[in-house]
Amino acid sequence: MSHHDDASRIEQRVALAGARVSPEQAAGLAAYLDVLRKWNQKSNLTAFELTPPSEAAIDRLIVEPVVAANRLLPADRLLRHRVRRRLAGDSSAPHGDSAAGCARRSED
If asked whether residues 10 and 62 sit together in one domain, one would say yes
As a whole number, mean pLDDT of residues 7-29 equals: 94
Report how many domains make up the chain. Answer: 2
pLDDT digits (tens, 9 = 90+) for 28-50: 999 999 999 999 888 888 888 88
List of residues 6+ apart from 102 with CB closer than 8 A: 79, 82, 83, 86
What pTM was computed for the model? Answer: 0.65
Quick one: 7 and 35 in the same domain? yes
> Are 14 and 36 contained in the same domain?
yes
17 and 60 part of one domain: yes
The residue type found at 50 is: L
Pick from 49, 59, 56: nearest CA to 19: 59
Domain that holds residue 35: 3-70
Residue 102 reports pLDDT greater than 60: no
Is there a single domain that holds both residue 9 and residue 37? yes
